[in-house]
Amino acid sequence: MLAIFIQYIILIIIILFLVMVADKLKIAYPIVLVVGGLVLSITHAIPAININPEMILVMFLPPLLYEAAWYTSWKEFWKWRRVISSFAFLIVILTSFVIAFISSRIIPGFTLALGFLLGAIVSPPDAVSATSILKYVKVPRRLSAIIEGESLLNDASSLIVFRFALIAVSTGQFIFHEAAISFVEVIVMGIGTGLIVGLIYYAVLRWLPTSPNMDIVLTLTAPYVMYIAAENFHFSGVLSVVSGALFLSSRSQTIFNFRSRLRGSNVWSMIGFVLNGLVFMLIGLQLPMIVDQLGPVSLQKAIGYGLFITFVLIVTRILCTLGASVFTVFISRYITTADSRPGWKGPLILGWAGMRGVVSLAAALSIPDFISNGTAFPQRNLILFITFMVILLTLLVQGLTLPWVIKWINMEDLDQYTPADEQYLLVKKKLAKHSLAYLREQYHDKLLTNPSLQMLQTRFEREMSILDPEVKSDQDDFSEIYLTLLEHQRTFLSELNKKEGTDEDVIRRYEELLDLEEEKIRHKSEN
């Protein structure tokens, strides 16, 4: 147990180093982590690590989904709901059909049921890879919103198809109408379970006397409770977590105080970073064990199958996204759509942003060694190898070339949003105007006699002219001088703390206030 713990500590340190390398090279860190894991596994720099699929599906997947859903814009999600739903469900199911047909034709001994199983495993793109790549290149807001929204739902659809395909392989039976009814039931009840659990957490956080630390611990347990509760009744745990997280996120201003929101944001950011890093590193570390388990299939043939399936996946997704654009133009004649003329540029970028990752590997590893009658599960090791090849190739080929594809296509932002820095200043100006009007209306008498309120009034009056060039220039000078002053204050507090009779807890509390003040100033400067 101690050896495993030390092993994971070493892994985390290696992950931190590789992420720094990725940032330096301007490459998405999932790519560097997978390659780093490959190098470590080939060189035997660290002992082999056996991944328990339940560890990924139960321990890793719920918090990663919860964090992604929490920071998803519900406004953008709802605006592009039709596109997101078609990508997350229809394209995943269609891709599974295509892979089932192709694989059963080219791989000896592969049945349609096994093909559907493989298709369900490799069909969902990984959002972490795409979003980490997109941060290095400017992309229209609508594309990032669609990619983020799709990632919240496609894992659910692929795991549902995987579940039905696994039953078909194990029993040799597949009744379409029963599967269709069960598919809808799993989706609806999964969403319902997440909302019910979310309501319970809402009631606890809203009306019981919790502290910031208790709030954070409760949010850490929420995704696991949502996922396990749904899976216990054979519903979609993924949709349960997503729906519950969206529900709680939309009410975060009422159930948390400012301390809970600040601390919780930092905690979740750290947890998401560590979990994503571990998962992508573990993907790379699995290569030797997967190759050793290939059995009678030669490595050359297995690589050939993996290359061809990856090619089919990439082409199928691009054709589907382009086809969705054509369908949108047609259906816009009869219903209102968010964009009646999507063109080819956006769909092509979305098609190329189809890197596979954690869910594909977890699903492949969760295939049982034996089916219900006690015989070995057919083609299990080959499915594992093909899955690994798909993840590796899509990350390296699509992941490394996606920034170039985006720049080559040069898609204009059709949504005509005001740039974020200008929006920030406009909101600040409107907020100052609103606050000033409130002060003058509600506290007119006190403004005449209270110096502190007069200073506040002066600040709001200044912020109302924040867009003037002279004021902006003065603000830049103010920020630079104030940040320097904060450093001098920290030095003074450090010296004051050395004196006898000074309470160190008081000094630390004041240092926290300085940190918050610096965060606020730097946030203003960045915007």
Where does the pLDDT of residue 415 fall: very low under 50, low under 70, confident under 90, or very high at 90 and above? low
Within this chain, do residues 240 and 383 fall inside the same structural domain, yes or no?
A: yes
Judge whether 46 and 12 are in contact, CB under 8 Å: no
* Measured distance CA(446)–CA(158) in Å, rounded: 62
Neighbours of 340 (CB within 10 A): 13
Contact of 333 with 371, CB cutoff 8 Å: no
CB 120 within 8 A of CB 43: no
**Range 17-24 contact pairs with CB under 8 angstroms and sequence separation of 24 or more:** 18/281, 19/277
* Residue that finishes a domain, picked among 409, 439, 468: 409
Q: Are residues 298 and 434 in the same domain?
A: no
Does residue 110 fall inside a structural domain? yes
Sequence-distant (≥ 6) Cβ neighbours of residue 465 within 8 angstroms: 429, 471
Closest CA to 264 of 9, 63, 74: 63
Higher-confidence position of 6 and 106: 106
Highest mean pLDDT pick, 145-149, 323-327, 386-390, 466-470: 386-390
Residue 48 lies in a domain: yes
For 57-61, 170-174, 482-486, which range has the lowest pLDDT when averaged over its residues? Answer: 170-174
Range of 432's domain? 420-526
In this structure, the answer to whether residues 126 and 256 fall within a common structural domain is: yes
Query: Within this chain, do residues 237 and 102 fall inside the same structural domain, yes or no?
Result: yes
Asked if residue 69 lies in contact with residue 191, where contact means CB atoms within 8 angstroms, the answer is no
Is 427 within a domain?
yes
In angstroms, the CA 498 to CA 73 distance is: 48
Q: Which two tokens stand for residue 324?
A: 């969705």
DSSP secondary structure letters along 285-311: HTHHHHHHT-TTS-HHHHHHHHHHHHH
Number of domains in the chain: 2
28 domain residue, yes or no: yes
Residue-level pLDDT at 416? 57
Say yes or no: 112 and 83 in one domain: yes
Nearest to 387 by CA among 361, 369, 354, 367: 361
Q: Are 117 and 367 in contact (CB under 8 A)?
A: yes
The CATH number for 173's domain is 1.20.1530.20
Residue of higher predicted confidence among 191 and 173:
191
Distance in angstroms between the alpha carbons of the first and the last residue of the chain: 47
Q: Give domain status of residue 284, yes or no.
A: yes
Rounded CA-CA distance 78/47 in Å is 46
Is 235 contained in some domain?
yes
Average pLDDT, the chain: 84
Three-state DSSP class for residue 340: coil
- What is the residue-wise DSSP string for 458-494? HHHHHHTTTTSHHHHHHHHHHHHHHHHHHHHHHHHHH
Minimum mean pLDDT range among 141-150, 412-421, 476-485: 412-421
Co-location of 361 and 260 in the same domain:
yes
- Which of 383, 409, 435 is where one domain is finished? 409
SS3 211: coil
Res 58 pLDDT > 60: yes
CA-based nearest residue to 257, from 200, 199, 206: 206
Tell which residue, 417, 420, 456, 421, has the closest CA to residue 435: 456
74 and 236 Cβ atoms separated by less than 8 Å:
no
> For the segment 327-366, what is each residue's pLDDT rounded down to a tens digit?
887 777 777 776 677 788 888 988 998 888 878 888 888 8
Q: How far is CA 245 from the centre of its chain?
A: 13
The model's pLDDT over 272-319, given as tens digits with 9 standing for 90+, comes to 888 888 888 888 887 777 777 777 788 889 999 999 999 999 999 999
Q: What is the pLDDT of residue 504?
A: 84
Contact 121, 383 (CB under 8 A): yes
443 domain residue, yes or no: yes
- The band of 167, judged by pLDDT with boundaries at 50, 70 and 90, is confident
The answer, yes or no, to whether residue 31 has pLDDT greater than 70, is yes
Which pLDDT does position 227 carry in this prediction? 94
Return the SS3 of 376.
strand
Taking only the tens place, the pLDDT of each residue in 490-505 is: 888 888 888 887 888 8
CA-only gyration radius of the chain, Å: 26
Same domain, 41 and 155: yes
- Angle at Cα 285 formed by Cα 279 and Cα 291, nearest 5°? 125
